[in-house]
Amino acid sequence: MSVHEKISHLTSRDILAAKGQRKLAVLTAYDYSSAMLVDEAGVDIILVGDSLGMVMLGREDTLSVTLEECIHHTKAVLRGTRRALVVADMPFMSYEAGVNEALHNAARLCQESGVRAVKVEGGSWILPQIEALVRAGIPVMGHLGLTPQRAAVLGGFKVQAKNAEAALQLIKDALALQEAGCFSLVLEAIPAPLARRVSERLAIPTIGIGAGNGCDGQVLVYHDLLGLYKDFTPRFVRRYAALGPIIRDAVAAYADDVRQGAFPTSEHAFSMSDEEIAKLDAVLADWETTR
């Protein structure tokens, strides 16, 4: 694509305007080729989630994902995206320490990758950071419920806000995030009746994952949806394909063909004219007798 070709991505305002009009389909992607497929399939938002630490890099959790890694993957995703809004995760500890650090790191993420919206995990304790980012011109997606960056204090990857008190706190946090300027809010692993109540009370779209169908949209991890990640599949995932075995069988068939000499055949090879082959054999014979 030429640098002059105009790409018209959806914007955070388009996402806001979808509230109450249509459900939003959100999916993660972490590289050029998958982003292209996801974008062609017509999702509204492509999230470059820090889940990349697990599904792309084979780590145990998201905590070790760095800003540089988020920048690297986001750049690739943007190259493959024409229409969807791309949102990049701010990694663990890139915004928690305070407003200045959050601004500095979000600026790096936006300037170095080209992304135009970021996601942060957490509630009322990160409001100053969200307000500062929005004031600086960076659209922010919030994330409440099971926030994987805080899994250690949440007791692991567990459903959150199951009692009335915690549920009320989550509703208050959701309203505060909206007030701080978030344009949308991910609700992860919370009871469906709570997610519905949050969604009814917010003017910004909620994007559920393990939060039932009362949300304004849904998000899944690319590898979970396609059956590409075997280490752990949460109960809330629906697999739309089982590509893992298909890929493994294709690779095994290729390896078998190579070992049997069945690949490549002449249709995959480049030819040379008989005249040039004869010349080559003559110069080769000469060269080999003189060396």
Which positions are catalytic? 188
When asked if residue 89 is in the footprint of ligand KIV (CB under 6 A), the reply is: yes
> Pick from 209, 211, 215, 228: which binds ligand KIV (CB under 6 A)?
209
Q: Which of these ranges, 31-39, 45-53, 161-169, 239-247, lies near ligand KIV under the rule CB under 6 A?
A: 45-53
Within 164-203, which residues bind ligand KIV (CB under 6 A)?
186, 188
Compute how many other C-beta atoms are within 10 angstroms of the C-beta atom of residue 51.
21
Query: Residues 253, 254, 258, 264: what is their CA dihedral angle, to the nearest 10 degrees?
Result: 120
> Pick from 84, 182, 190, 219: which binds ligand KIV (CB under 6 A)?
219
For residue 25, which amino acid is it? A
Rounded Cα distance, 144 and 51, in Å = 16
Within 243-272, which residues bind ligand KIV (CB under 6 A)?
none
Cα angle, residue 288 at apex, residues 287 and 291 outer, rounded to 5°? 80
Which residues have CB under 8 Å from 64's CB, separation 6+?
53, 92
Number of residues in contact with ligand KIV under rule CB under 6 A: 11
User: How do 140-145 and 118-119 pair as beta strands?
Assistant: parallel
Shortest distance, position 188 Cβ to ligand KIV, whole Å: 6
Rounded Cα distance, 92 and 121, in Å = 9
Closer residue to ligand KIV (CB): 109 or 259? 109
> Pick from 12, 34, 51, 184: which binds ligand KIV (CB under 6 A)?
51
When asked if residue 81 is in the footprint of ligand KIV (CB under 6 A), the reply is: no
| Binding residues for ligand KIV (CB under 6 A) | 28, 47, 49-51, 89, 186, 188, 209, 219, 221
